[in-house]
Amino acid sequence: MSEKTQSVLPILLKELRLPTMLRYWQDFSEKATLEGWPPTDYLRVLCEHEVENRTDRRLSRRITESKIPRGKSLESFDFSACQSLNKSHINALASGDAWIKSGMNLLIFGPSGVGKTHIAVAIAEQLLFNGFKVLFTRTTELVQKLQAAKQRLELSSFLGKLDKYDCLILDDFGYVKKDQLETNVLFELISERYERRSLIITCNQPFQEWDQIFEDKTMALAAVDRLVHHGTILEMNEQSYRKKTALNRCNSVGQKKEAEKKG
Ligand code: ADP
Ligand code: MG
Closest by CA position to 178, among listed 143, 230, 142: 143
Closest by CA position to 173, among listed 200, 196, 155, 147: 200
Asked if residue 164 has pLDDT above 80, the reply is yes
pLDDT of residue 244: 78
Q: Are strands 198-203 and 134-138 parallel, antiparallel or unpaired?
A: unpaired
Contact criterion met (CB below 8 Å) for 226 and 104 = no
pLDDT of residue 213: 86
Asked if residue 261 has pLDDT above 80, the reply is no
pLDDT of residue 160: 96
pLDDT of residue 247: 73
**What's the average model confidence in pLDDT over 225-244?**
90
pLDDT of residue 140: 94
Counting atoms of ligand 1 from 1, which one is nearest the CA of 79? 23
Asked if residue 193 has pLDDT above 70, the reply is yes
| Cα(115) to centroid(ligand 2), Å | 7
Least confident segment among 65-74, 157-166, 225-234, 242-251? 242-251
Q: Tabulate helix, strand, coil % of the chain (nearest 5).
A: 65, 10, 25
pLDDT of residue 209: 87
Contact criterion met (CB below 8 Å) for 168 and 199 = yes
Nearest ligand, CA of residue 138? 2
**What's the average model confidence in pLDDT over 220-226?**
90
Closest by CA position to 173, among listed 145, 210, 222: 210
Nearest ligand, CA of residue 112? 1
pLDDT of residue 262: 66
| Cα(167) to centroid(ligand 1), Å | 21
Q: Are strands 231-235 and 134-138 parallel, antiparallel or unpaired?
A: unpaired
Q: Across all residues in the chain, what is the average pLDDT?
A: 92
- At residue 104, what is the residue type? M
**Residue 44 binned pLDDT confidence (cut-offs 50, 70, 90):** very high
Q: How many CA atoms lie within 13 A of 260 on its CB side?
A: 6
What span, in angstroms and rounded, lies between the C-alpha atoms of 189 and 256?
Answer: 53
- Cα pseudo-dihedral 68, 74, 80, 86, rounded to 10: 100
Asked if residue 255 has pLDDT above 70, the reply is no
The reported pTM is: 0.85
What span, in angstroms and rounded, lies between the C-alpha atoms of 128 and 130?
Answer: 5
| Cα(118) to centroid(ligand 1), Å | 5
